[in-house]
A and B are shown apart, each in its own frame.
Chain A
Amino acid sequence: AQSVAQPEDQVNVAEGNPLTVKCTYSVSGNPYLFWYVQYPNRGLQFLLKYITGDNLVKGSYGFEAEFNKSQTSFHLKKPSALVSDSALYFCAGGASGSARQLTFGSGTQLTVLP
């Protein structure tokens, strides 16, 4: 069975500092991976995805993620955090060819301190 893990429930970072939100995955075959963000009382919004190709994926709002096959990780990063980045972040993944589609991680609450 496929799984996605986000080992940190909460990440705090000072505004202007770089941020990293961690994600590891376990899927059979070639993975496809996503990051979503959820603001209070809103649905999930797509940030970026990895399907194939470059290991560094750039997405919305200045976010990027690095796919590392050997470590089965897909960490979300941003060089300089903004207070407005504070939200709940979800990593999701699945195996290419899987009819079950995406499995989500448990979420990481990011708080950017002014």
Chain B
Amino acid sequence: EAQVTQNPRYLITVTGKKLTVTCSQNMNHEYMSWYRQDPGLGLRQIYYSMNVEVTDKGDVPEGYKVSRKEKRNFPLILESPSPNQTSLYFCASRLQTGQGYGYTFGSGTRLTVV
């Protein structure tokens, strides 16, 4: 089944403790992206990657890092999480060719930083 898999689904952590949220897709998509969803703000793009070793900042990149060493994986790294990073996070992927293709989204990761 074609899908985007995120782990973990739920995570509670303490301020300053480094964490990684994994994202993997099995559709050979070039383009991958991370979003955070907050009430009243919709989805805001954190980082995106147009292919292996090619990443760029989205609208809200502060406090986050990403890497794209393999085509299928696009982990989101919080080096020193803070409470304002408490949010619902989504990974998404799509084919790069033909911008008319929509995203496939993961099921989300609900992160709480205390």
Contact = CB atoms under 8 A, between A and B. Distances in A.
A100 B48 contact: yes
Given A49-B102, A51-B100, A90 B107 contact: no
B74 interface: no
Interface string A68-110: 0000000000000000000000101010111111111111000
A106 B42 contact: yes
Interface stretch (B13-21, B33-41, B64-72, B75-83): B33-41
Contacts, number: 59
Nearest to A9: B40
Contacts of A41: 108
> Chain A contact residues (Cβ within 8 angstroms of B): what range?
20 to 34
Contact of A104 (B35, B104, B106): B35
Interface residues of B, number: 26
A44 interface: yes
B58 A100 contact: yes
Interface in A12-69: 32, 34, 36, 41-46, 49, 51
B56 interface: yes
B51 to A, nearest CB: 11
10 contacts: A42-B108, A44-B103, A46-B102, A51-B99, A101-B48, A101-B99, A102-B45, A104-B35, A105-B42, A106-B41
